Amino acid sequence: MPETMKNAVLELHAELNLEPFWMPFTANRQFKANPRLLVAAQGMHYTSHDGRQILDGTAGLWCVNAGHCRPAIVEAIQQQVAQLDYAPAFQMGHPKAFELADQLIQLTPPGLDHVFFANSGSEAVDTALKIAIAYHRVRGQGSRQRLIGRERGYHGVGFGGISVGGISSNRKYFGSLVPGVDHLPHTHNLEHNAFSRGLPRWGSHLAEELERIVALHDASTIAAVIVEPVAGSTGVLIPPVGYLEKLRAICDKYGILLIFDEVITGFGRLGSPFAANYFGVVPDLICCAKGLTNGTIPMGAVIVKQEIYNTFMDSAESPIELFHGYTYSGHPVASAAGLATLKLYQQEGLFERAARLAPLWEAAIHSLKGLPHVIDVRNLGLVGAVELEGIPGRPTARAFEAFLRCYERGVLIRTTGDIIALSPPLIIEETHIEHLIATLRQVLQELA
């Protein structure tokens, strides 16, 4: 950053009133006492308010898969907002929303071929849950209203999402939540699977817990099961070999819809368009967001099977087949960003690039095994986690200290509990991986 610009930014920071902004998922008092401000970004790096280059080891929040400030996406947004800033999606339309939907279904497994647009992963999840319950009703099975999530699952922050989600701190403050929800056990087990490379071998039998839940509630009451193929925000929990296949088979057996929350795994994170492609397991609905627009404009989507869409079209009680939607569904500027993003992924072969880099990434992250306090390392595609032994009586403190020290050294990581999560942009180079892991190694060696 030029010195004159750096001085201007520092002056702006000095004048900022930080207090009015109630920051999300943030220790507000701690942050505002010593703020970490990002003022620019390009490619693999952020620029901090004090002019330092910060290597992005997390693709923002799992979303900037193609790297920051890519000209093709920026130009598409600029052109669109100058041509058509907004168009209503209720009883009206604009071309780019239809173009984007058509491009999206080219990436999904066959049969997933209709798209309902939202504005975030949270909205996509709540939309999918509503579609699932309404689908059973319009086909004459209105008793199917129960939803099944999973312990340690994260499905956004809407009431539907936190109800099926399984992270206690996201749930405990907000009352009784949506009724009629049950949870599968999570699959994370350090005794059996610590330091697994790729899919752990132990744990597929945990999918059979769905049989117990069906026996408890009866299949005629269950609308859908929702899981993250790879649980992200809870600390990168990799599914055991055969686990997702078993969930699919049990859902088929009892006529239960299977929803994949691919807000994180979508758009190349595993080296394929979606985790559904990677695992060869086809859900009935896919929720996506984040990488859909490379994080530049908020947008989410639910991709549904033909049968679900046709059921609404053929069985609706009124001309409007589904009474649901958002003011900004398929927003013109977001649609332009999505189209440019998908084109960039294809032109640069970023999904394939992630697949090629995955073995190198695996070797690099597992090189941290044996460092002080490291009790597990796990990976899949271009995502990884380093789990640390917690400090007694001070949960999360050790990992957060690692986060602060990495930032001081010019590397951005993410922590959840005592887990360090890594998910770099798909444009990452070998030298970036080396720098990221070397910095993290140095920090872990220093931690008390």
Tens-place pLDDT, residues 228-262:
999 999 999 999 999 999 999 999 999 999 999 99
Averaged pLDDT, 268-273: 98
pLDDT for residue 388: 98
Among 220, 214, 216, 218, which residue's Cα sits nearest to residue 249? 214
d(CA 37, CA 215): 52
The pLDDT of residue 6 is above 70: no
DSSP 245-296: HHHHHHHHHHT-EEEEE-TTTTTTTTSSSSHHHHHT---SEEEE-GGGTTTS
The pLDDT of residue 415 is above 90: yes
Among 187, 201, 235, which residue's Cα sits nearest to residue 377? 235
- Note the pLDDT tens digit of each residue in 84-104: 999 999 999 999 999 999 999
d(CA 33, CA 27): 10
| Residue 13: pLDDT band with limits 50, 70, 90 | low
pLDDT for residue 10: 56
Share the mean pLDDT of the chain. Answer: 96
The pLDDT of residue 329 is above 60: yes
Superfamily of domain 3-57+349-446: Aspartate Aminotransferase, domain 1 (3.90.1150.10)
pLDDT for residue 316: 82
Query: Where does 73-348 sit in CATH, by number?
Result: 3.40.640.10
The pLDDT of residue 7 is above 80: no
Averaged pLDDT, 148-159: 98
pLDDT for residue 310: 98
Which residues on adjacent β-strands are paired with residue 394?
Answer: 391
Residue 405: which H helix or E strand, with range?
Answer: helix 397-408
**Tokens 């986060």 map to which residue?**
403
| Residue 358: pLDDT band with limits 50, 70, 90 | very high
| Residue 109: pLDDT band with limits 50, 70, 90 | very high
pLDDT for residue 317: 85
The two tokens of residue 282 are 């086809």
The answer to whether 266 and 275 have CB atoms below 8 angstroms apart is yes
d(CA 29, CA 19): 9
pLDDT for residue 2: 61
pLDDT for residue 171: 96
pLDDT for residue 11: 62
pLDDT for residue 9: 55
pLDDT for residue 83: 98
Other CB atoms within 10 Å distance of the CB of residue 341: 27
The answer to whether 79 and 87 have CB atoms below 8 angstroms apart is no
Q: Measure Cα distances from 250 to 28, 150, 210, 231 in Å.
A: 44, 15, 7, 20
Other CB atoms within 10 Å distance of the CB of residue 368: 17
Look at residue 359 and give its three-state secondary structure.
helix
Averaged pLDDT, 266-279: 98
Among 444, 430, 442, which residue's Cα sits nearest to residue 364? 430
**Tokens 């189209």 map to which residue?**
339
| Percentage of the residues of the chain whose pLDDT score is greater than 90 | 96
pLDDT for residue 448: 76
- The pTM is what? 0.97
The answer to whether 134 and 315 have CB atoms below 8 angstroms apart is no
pLDDT for residue 4: 55
- Note the pLDDT tens digit of each residue in 22-49: 999 999 999 999 999 999 999 999 999 9
- Per domain, the residue ranges of the chain are 3-57+349-446, 73-348
Q: Residue 39: which residues within 8 A CB-CB, separation 6 or more?
A: 9, 47, 48, 49
